[in-house]
Amino acid sequence: MLIDGYGREVNYLRISVTERCNFRCQYCMPEKPFSWVPKENLLTFEELFLFVKVAIDGGVTKIRLTGGEPLLREDLDTFIAMIHTYKPDVDLALTTNAFLLSEAAQILKDAGLKRLNISLDSLKADVAAKIAGKDVLGRVLEGIDKALEVGFKVKINMVPLKGINDDEILDIMAYCQERHMKVRFIEYMENTHADQALKGMHGREILDRVKEKYTIKTLGREGASPSFNYLIEETGYEFGLIDPHKHDFCESCNRIRLTAEGYLIPCLYFDEAMSIAESVKKGDIQGAANVLAQVLREKPKENRWSEEEFEQREISKRAFYETGG
């Protein structure tokens, strides 16, 4: 079992397999970064897999592949199959913008991927294009349909932004309910890489929008999930709210993040990280395990997003496209 310095069990590893992306979402990567990590600095799947084995042997039971856009990384299905073959009961999931999903869905399923989280911020083509920086909606919706058709369990992530897509909260919820997908509304997390003019919606404001039409019952946090769940009494539909600004968000944090370059990141908010690259390149299992142990010891108690007014909030310097959100 992996335990951090505050006694929290860490059993969830998120791996960003690339920082590159085919979208330029305003809240994540509105401009192409000045420089990408050169390809030669990326860990190979074999090197990443060495660490994955250390993590699984230590007690990790859930692995999520993310990015950047993970479907841009070549041969992703091979990596999925490596993890699945090593430990078939690992809860193996992927977060994607779905632009390339209709072609990839069956291949990913066959490789052993179990679940998908898909980002969908708007059902209006012009709004989706404004957020992502290009015309994306048609392909994203096709990708979602394909994922459901091949039998994936799908969750939808939406980041509501004031004056942009905040009028679509109920529409996205209805779209998800029709397709038996859970939607999770994510509070916009301020960061220095995003378009600084953006205004996110606080969890309370998101709930108020839902309450304009429905009565909601609080269900609570599901284990160590970052999502706080609610039930719509009129329809029986369950949705989630990911609210990192809330003070109790970090109490049950069970995750660590690994970047494509091999940085092990204990908290999404902070810039601190330690590299496993040198160890895995040498095949040094003990070295990688030592880095993991140190990162766990030093995992911060909580992030610094707060419930203060947006203007007074601290801003994280960490790029979501590097860490994978």
Residue 2 vs 71, nearer CB to ligand SAM: 71
Run of H or E including 186: strand 182-186
Phi, psi of 140 (to 5 degrees): -65, -45
- 179, 148 contact by CB (below 8 A): yes
Whole-angstrom distance, CA of residue 182 vs CA of residue 230: 11
- 144, 128 contact by CB (below 8 A): no
Cβ neighbours around 138 below 10 Å, total: 11
Long-range pairs for 43-46: beta carbons < 8 A, 24 or more residues apart: 43/260, 43/261, 43/262, 43/277, 43/280, 43/281, 45/75, 45/78, 45/79, 45/82
Long-range pairs for 105-109: beta carbons < 8 A, 24 or more residues apart: 105/143, 105/146, 105/147, 105/149, 105/150, 105/152, 106/146, 106/150, 107/77, 108/76, 108/77, 108/80, 109/150, 109/151, 109/152
- Please pick, from the candidates 119, 165, 259, 279, the single residue that binds ligand SAM as defined by CB under 6 A: 119
Question: Within positions 152 to 171, which residues make up the interface with ligand SF4, using CB under 6 A?
Answer: none
Question: Looking up tokens 């979501």, which residue turns up?
Answer: 320
Whole-angstrom distance, CA of residue 216 vs CA of residue 235: 10
How far apart are CB 6 and ligand SAM at their closest, in Å?
24
185 is a site residue for ligand SF4 (CB under 6 A): no
Question: Within positions 210 to 249, which residues make up the interface with ligand SF4, using CB under 6 A?
Answer: none
Residue 102 contact among ligand SAM, ligand SF4, none, beta carbon within 5 to 8 Å by kind = none
**Site stretch for ligand SF4 (CB under 6 A), options 66-74, 84-92, 174-182, 274-282:** 66-74
- 199, 164 contact by CB (below 8 A): no
- Please pick, from the candidates 69, 77, 190, 243, the single residue that binds ligand SF4 as defined by CB under 6 A: 69
**Site stretch for ligand SAM (CB under 6 A), options 181-189, 215-223, 262-270, 288-296:** 181-189
- Please pick, from the candidates 186, 250, 277, 295, the single residue that binds ligand SAM as defined by CB under 6 A: 186
279 is a site residue for ligand SAM (CB under 6 A): no
321 is a site residue for ligand SF4 (CB under 6 A): yes
How far apart are CB 70 and ligand SF4 at their closest, in Å?
9
Question: Within positions 3 to 62, which residues make up the interface with ligand SF4, using CB under 6 A?
Answer: 21, 23-25, 28-29
Question: Residue 324 region, left (φ>0) first, then alpha (ψ -120 to 50), else beta?
Answer: left
How far apart are CB 25 and ligand SAM at their closest, in Å?
6
DSSP string, 54-112: HHHHHT--EEEEESS-GGGSTTHHHHHHHHHHH-TTSEEEEEE--TTHHHHHHHHHHHT
**Site stretch for ligand SAM (CB under 6 A), options 42-50, 63-71, 163-171, 249-257:** 63-71
2 is a site residue for ligand SF4 (CB under 6 A): no
Residue 29 contact among ligand SF4, ligand SAM, none, beta carbon within 5 to 8 Å by kind = ligand SF4
> Using the 8-state DSSP alphabet, how is residue 5 labeled?
T
**Site stretch for ligand SAM (CB under 6 A), options 138-146, 182-190, 205-213, 298-306:** 182-190
The single-letter code of the amino acid at 311 is E
**Site stretch for ligand SF4 (CB under 6 A), options 67-75, 164-172, 244-252, 259-267:** 67-75
Residue 185 contact among ligand SAM, ligand SF4, none, beta carbon within 5 to 8 Å by kind = none
Residue 188 vs 239, nearer CB to ligand SF4: 188
How far apart are CB 189 and ligand SAM at their closest, in Å?
4
Which residue sits closest to ligand SAM, CB atoms considered?
A: 325
Q: Enumerate binding residues for ligand SF4 (CB under 6 A).
A: 21, 23-25, 28-29, 67-69, 97, 119, 320-321
